[in-house]
A = this chain, B = another copy of it.
Amino acid sequence: MVIDINLSNPEAIHHPAGQGPIPQPSLNRMSQYHHYLMELQDQGIDRVSCSRIGADLNLVPVQVRKDLQYTGIIGKPKTGYVVAELILAIESFLGWNNVNEAFLVGAGNLGTALLGHERFTKFGLQIVAAFDSDPSKIGQWVHGKAVLPLDKLADLAQRMSIHLGIITTPAEAAQTVADEMIRGGIQAIWNFAPARLKVPTHVIVHSEDLYSSLASLSWKLAQRFHVPIQQEGGTPDGVDANCG
């Protein structure tokens, strides 16, 4: 999910050159393009067209073209784009060529998984420390990162100029943690707890709602089994097969 979307404030999202806003869905597709292009590069393919990308990613070519235009890349008729250039364009567009140092709070199941995910560094995300409130976890090391007491967060974030916070605590604690992060000057929060965070407008919050995805999935699955009668001229199962 993601889905997601659901901009409570439909304020335009502007991209660096100021050449107009970028739709959130386009932004979400960027990492797909990036991943796909990396595969192409591994295969030694150095040029690619929107039609090719679209065919492989199940998108109409014109949508691919529009999305890529936001990165500022310029393609050549008949040839398409240079894969290497395109990858760089996307990485630069997303800011993946700079490192974002982050603090993670909640060294539990999910937090541990994220802490152990080295691949994040390839995408500019460097989790530098973990925080928890559980005395038995404080002082331990998880995947090479120290678990510190939560009350050290704000001060450290400020001193280390950390701008990104990741919340993997239970929902009940999420707001407290977010407040603490903001107190430390953190600008953006990646929230995995199913909670609506109240934050000042200048703070970016991106909530990863797994339950929302689960809802979507189980609804579709329920459709599949409980309404086999429904047949009104459309597809046998009126449910789209691929979304995310």
Note all chain B residues with C-beta closer than 8 A to A238.
11-14, 21
Asked if A112 is an interface residue, CB under 8 A from chain B, the answer is: yes
What is the size category of the interface that chain A forms with chain B? Answer: 35 or more
Note all chain B residues with C-beta closer than 8 A to A113.
109-110, 112-113
CB contact between A211 and one of B18, B35, B98, B163 (< 8 Å): that residue: B35
Note all chain B residues with C-beta closer than 8 A to A6.
25, 28-29, 243-244
Interface members, chain A 90-110 (any B CB < 8 Å): 93-96, 98, 100, 109-110
Asked if A164 is an interface residue, CB under 8 A from chain B, the answer is: yes
- B109 engages A209 (CB within 8 Å): no
- A4 engages B199 (CB within 8 Å): no
Asked if A116 is an interface residue, CB under 8 A from chain B, the answer is: yes
Q: In whole angstroms, what is the CA distance A190 to B212 when docked?
A: 12
Per-position 1/0 for A52-73, Cβ under 8 A of B: 0000111100000000000000
Note all chain B residues with C-beta closer than 8 A to A10.
240
Interface members, chain A 224-244 (any B CB < 8 Å): 224-227, 230, 232, 234-244
Q: In whole angstroms, what is the CA distance A240 to B120 when docked?
A: 24
Which residues of A are interface residues toward B (Cβ below 8 A)? 1-16, 18, 21, 24-25, 27-32, 34-36, 56-59, 93-96, 98, 100, 109-110, 112-113, 116-117, 120, 123-125, 163-164, 171, 187-188, 190-191, 194-197, 199-227, 230, 232, 234-244
Note all chain B residues with C-beta closer than 8 A to A237.
202
Q: Nearest Cβ in chain B — how far from A8, in angstroms?
A: 4
- B98 engages A109 (CB within 8 Å): no
- B11 engages A244 (CB within 8 Å): no
Note all chain B residues with C-beta closer than 8 A to A239.
11, 13-14, 204
Q: In whole angstroms, what is the CA distance A194 to B38 when docked?
A: 12
